[in-house]
C-alpha cells in the first residue's frame, strides 16, 4: 500500500534525517520526496511504500505521531488514494 | 496505479481538512426492517433489535478505520430504517413508543449517533398505522436520545394532505411542550426522498435494497476559502470556482462511499452532494453568500446568491460521483450555521426571507426556533407554505421548527453539539386558524399545458 507522509514543523537542523530514519527502521521505502519552506515553517511530503512494513496502519500512524511529537514535529500519514481521487479525473 | 506526487495538491488537501473544516458529514447505512413485522409488538421489537445489531455491528468500526487511514474526518455514522409506520402496521398496539425505544437501544448498541426512520408517508392520506405513529411522536421523540422521525405530508403527484398538516402543527406543539429538543429530531416533508443520508429526515425508502450505504459530504468552509480568491470577479468565475471545489469535495465522498461499501459488503447507494454547515466559525453557508458581496445574509440578493451556490454545487458534484441522490444542494439550518444565527440576531434575516431561500435550495425552514406561544394553527400554516413551495416546484422541502417553550423573540435556545443554538425568530401575528381548520387536500398542481 502506498501512503503520503506529511511533516510540518518550525524549521530546524536534522528534521529530514530524523524522519527518514524513523521510516527506515520500520522497513518503509521512500518512493518520492519533496520539501519546502513556507515562511519559517518546514513542510516535507513523502510518497512511501508500506509493502514491507510489519506494523498495522493504525500502529504506524500512532508511532509516527508520537515520535514526531518528541521533536515537536507534526507527522501525519494518509493513504494516497485520497489525493488521487480529489485531484485526478 | 502509479501516483505522481504533487506537493501543492497534497498541501491543498491537508489545508482543506485542517483549516477549512472539510469532512465527510455522514456515512449512513440504510436498512430494511420490513421483514421484522409481527402482530405482537414485543416480537417485532425483538426482531428489529436483532437485525440492526447483526447488520450494523461493524459499521462504526469500519468507518472509523477508513477515517484514520485516509485522514478524513467522518463526523457521523448513522442508520436509516424503513418507515416504522409500515413495519408496525400489523401490530395491535396504539402506542408505537416501544418501537422507538427499541431503535434507540439498538442504535446505542452499535454505536451510531442517530437513527432515522420513525416515519410515516401520509402525503395522500393516513393509514391507521400512520395515525398511530404520528400520535406516538411526542412521547417517542422525547423519551429517546437518538431516534429521528419524519412525516411526509405532501408530494407533487398527490398534492398536500391538509389534515396531516393540521395534525403535525398540533404534534409539534405537544412535542415541544414535553421537550423542545424533540422537535429538533422531527422533520415534516414535502416530496421526501428515499435515500437521504442526513438527519433528522433520513429513512430507508421502500424502493431501496435490503441494505445500502449512502454518504453525505459537506464543506462550506472550503467553498468559502476558494471564493475569497475571486473578489470582484464576475459570476461566471464564481460559479466555475464553486463547481471545481464541489467536484473535489464530492470525489472524496465517493472514495469513502466505495471503500465503506466494499469493506462492509453492502451495496453503495448514493453520494448526497450537500453543503452542510456546522456552528464552527468558517463552516458557514451564510458566509459564502456574504463573500459573494452581500453585507449580511438575508439582505436583498440573498436568494440569487443561494440559487447560484446550490446549482453550482450540484453541477460540480455530479461528475465526481457515479450515483448522486438524497437532498443534494445547500443546507440552511439556522441553528447550525454561525452566519445565519448572526443574521437573525441582527434582524437582517427574517422568516420571510428564509422561506424565499427555500425555493432555491435543497431543504426548507430548517432548525428555526419560533416563539414558545406560537399556536398549533400557525405552525401548520408555516408547514403548508413550505409544502406548497415543494409541491409546486417539484422539490423536497423539509421543515424543522422548534417552538421554544417559555421563550420569546430575541432569546436563544441551545441544543448542543452539531445542532447548535438558535435565536427565536419573529412570526406574523395574523391567525391562519380558519384556513388550517378546513382540512381535506390541496390538489396536485398542473404540470402540463406549459405553452
Dihedral (CA of B5, B11, B17, B21) sign: negative
Q: How confident is the model at residue B448 (pLDDT cuts 50, 70, 90)?
A: confident
- CA distances in angstroms from B79 to B52, B102, B355, listed in the order given: 9, 13, 30
Q: pLDDT tier at B3 (50, 70, 90 boundaries)?
A: low
pLDDT beyond 50 at B114: yes
Report percent pLDDT > 70 for chain B: 99
What the block records as the C-alpha cell of B238 is: 464564481
Alpha-carbon distance A84 to nearest alpha carbon in chain B (angstroms): 7
A57 contacts on B by Cβ (under 8 Å)? 68-69
pLDDT of residue B1: 45
Segment B137-142 shows an average pLDDT of: 98
Q: Is the pLDDT of residue B67 over 70?
A: yes
Residues 48-67 of B with CB under 8 A from A: 65
Residue closest to B117 by CA, chosen among B332, B102, B42, B268 = B102
> Which long-range contacts (C-beta less than 8 Å, at least 24 apart) are formed by B389-392?
B389/B190, B389/B355, B389/B358, B389/B359, B389/B364, B390/B154, B390/B156, B390/B189, B390/B190, B390/B191, B390/B364, B391/B154, B391/B155, B391/B156, B391/B159, B391/B160, B391/B190, B391/B191, B391/B442, B391/B444, B391/B445, B392/B156, B392/B445
Contact residues, chain A to chain B, C-beta under 8 Å? 2, 4, 6, 31-32, 34, 36, 43, 45, 47, 57-58, 61, 76-87
B24-190 is classed CATH 3.20.70.20: yes
Query: For chain A, what are the domain ranges?
Result: 2-87
Cis peptide before B5 (omega within 30 of 0): no
pLDDT, tens digit, 9 for 90 and up, residues A28-62: 999 999 988 877 889 999 999 999 999 999 999 99
Mean pLDDT value across residues B80-91: 97
Least confident of B24-28, B172-176, B271-275, B356-360: B271-275
Query: Using the beta-carbon criterion (under 8 Å), do B7 and A57 form an inter-chain contact?
Result: no
Chain A residues within an 8 Å CB radius of B7: 34, 36, 43, 45
Q: Quick check: B413 and B422 in contact, CB under 8 A? A: yes
Question: Which of the four pLDDT bands, split at 50, 70 and 90, describes residue B216?
Answer: very high
Cβ–Cβ of B252/A58 closer than 8 Å? no
Better-predicted residue by pLDDT, B449 or B437: B437
Which architecture characterizes domain A2-87 according to CATH? 2-Layer Sandwich (3.30)
Average pLDDT over residues B106-130: 97
With a cut of 70, say whether residue B2 has pLDDT above it. Answer: no
Q: Mean of the pLDDT values across residues B169-189?
A: 97
Q: What is the average per-residue pLDDT within B285-314? A: 96
Average pLDDT for chain B: 94
**Chain B residue with the nearest C-alpha to that of A79:** B70
Q: Cβ neighbours of residue A2 under 8 Å, at least 6 residues apart?
A: A31, A47, A48, A49, A50, A79, A80, B3
CA atoms of B366 and B333, how far apart (whole Å) = 5
Render B419-431 in DSSP notation, one character per residue: G-EEEBPP---S-
A9 vs B contacts (CB less than 8 Å):
none
| Residue B244 forms contact with A (CB below 8 Å) | no
B1 shares contact with chain A (CB less than 8 Å): yes
What is the structure's pLDDT at B8? Answer: 86
Amino acid at each position: 500500500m502506498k501512503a503520503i507522509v506529511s511533516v510540518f514543523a518550525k524549521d530546524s537542523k536534522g528534521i529530514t534525517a530524523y524522519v527518514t530514519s524513523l521510516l527506515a527502521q520500520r522497513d518503509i521505502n521512500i518512493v518520492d520526496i519533496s520539501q519546502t519552506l513556507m515562511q519559517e515553517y518546514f513542510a516535507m511530503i513523502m510518497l512511501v511504500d508500506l509493502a514491507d512494513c510489519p506494523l498495522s496502519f493504525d500502529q504506524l500512524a500512532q508511532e509516527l505521531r508520537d515520535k514526531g511529537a518528541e521533536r515537536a514535529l507534526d507527522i501525519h500519514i494518509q493513504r494516497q488514494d485520497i489525493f488521487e481521487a480529489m485531484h485526478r479525473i | 496505479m502509479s501516483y505522481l506526487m504533487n506537493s501543492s495538491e497534497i498541501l491543498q488537501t491537508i489545508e482543506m481538512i485542517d483549516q477549512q473544516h472539510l469532512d465527510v458529514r455522514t456515512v449512513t447505512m440504510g436498512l430494511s426492517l420490513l421483514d421484522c413485522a409481527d402482530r405482537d409488538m414485543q416480537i417485532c421489537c425483538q426482531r428489529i433489535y436483532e437485525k440492526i445489531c447483526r447488520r450494523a455491528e461493524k459499521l462504526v468500526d469500519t468507518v472509523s478505520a477508513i477515517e484514520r487511514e485516509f485522514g478524513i474526518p467522518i463526523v457521523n455514522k448513522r442508520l436509516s430504517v424503513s418507515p416504522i409506520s409500515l413495519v408496525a402496521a400489523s401490530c395491535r398496539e396504539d402506542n408505537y413508543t416501544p418501537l422507538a425505544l427499541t431503535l434507540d437501544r439498538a442504535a446505542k448498541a452499535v454505536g451510531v449517533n442517530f437513527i432515522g426512520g420513525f416515519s410515516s408517508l401520509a402525503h395522500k392520506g393516513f393509514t391507521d398505522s400512520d395515525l398511530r405513529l404520528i400520535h406516538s411522536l411526542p412521547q417517542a421523540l422525547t423519551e429517546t436520545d437518538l431516534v429521528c422521525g419524519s412525516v411526509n405530508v405532501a408530494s407533487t403527484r398527490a398534492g398536500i394532505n391538509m389534515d396531516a398538516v393540521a395534525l403535525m402543527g398540533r404534534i409539534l406543539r405537544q412535542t415541544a411542550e414535553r421537550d423542545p429538543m424533540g422537535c429538533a429530531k422531527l422533520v415534516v416533508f414535502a416530496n421526501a426522498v428515499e435515500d437521504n443520508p442526513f438527519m433528522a429526515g433520513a429513512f430507508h425508502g421502500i424502493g431501496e435494497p435490503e441494505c445500502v450505504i449512502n454518504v453525505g459530504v459537506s464543506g462550506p468552509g472550503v467553498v468559502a476559502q476558494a471564493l475569497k480568491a475571486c473578489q470582484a470577479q464576475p459570476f461566471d468565475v464564481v460559479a466555475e470556482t464553486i463547481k471545481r471545489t464541489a467536484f473535489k469535495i464530492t470525489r472524496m465522498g465517493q472514495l469513502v462511499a466505495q471503500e465503506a461499501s466494499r469493506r462492509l459488503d453492502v451495496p453503495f447507494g448514493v453520494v448526497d452532494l450537500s453543503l452542510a454547515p456546522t456552528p464552527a466559525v468558517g463552516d458557514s453557508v451564510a458566509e459564502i453568500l456574504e463573500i459573494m458581496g452581500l453585507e449580511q445574509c438575508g439582505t436583498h440578493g440573498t436568494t440569487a446568491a443561494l440559487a447560484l451556490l446550490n446549482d453550482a454545487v450540484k453541477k460540480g458534484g455530479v461528475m465526481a460521483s457515479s450515483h448522486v441522490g438524497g437532498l443534494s444542494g445547500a443546507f440552511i439550518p439556522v441553528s447550525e450555521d454561525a452566519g445565519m444565527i448572526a443574521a437573525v440576531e441582527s434582524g437582517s434575516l427574517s422568516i420571510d426571507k428564509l422561506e424565499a431561500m427555500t425555493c432555491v435550495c435543497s431543504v426548507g425552514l430548517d432548525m428555526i426556533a419560533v416563539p414558545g406561544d406560537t399556536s398549533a394553527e400557525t405552525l401548520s400554516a408555516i408547514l403548508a407554505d413550505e409544502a406548497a413551495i415543494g409541491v409546486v416546484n417539484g422539490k423536497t422541502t423539509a421543515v424543522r421548527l422548534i417552538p421554544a417553550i417559555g421563550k420569546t423573540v430575541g432569546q436563544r435556545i441551545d441544543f448542543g453539539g452539531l445542532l447548535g443554538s438558535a435565536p427565536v425568530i419573529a412570526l406574523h401575528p395574523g391567525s391562519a386558524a380558519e384556513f388550517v381548520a378546513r382540512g381535506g387536500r390541496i390538489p396536485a398542481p398542473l404540470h402540463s399545458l406549459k405553452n
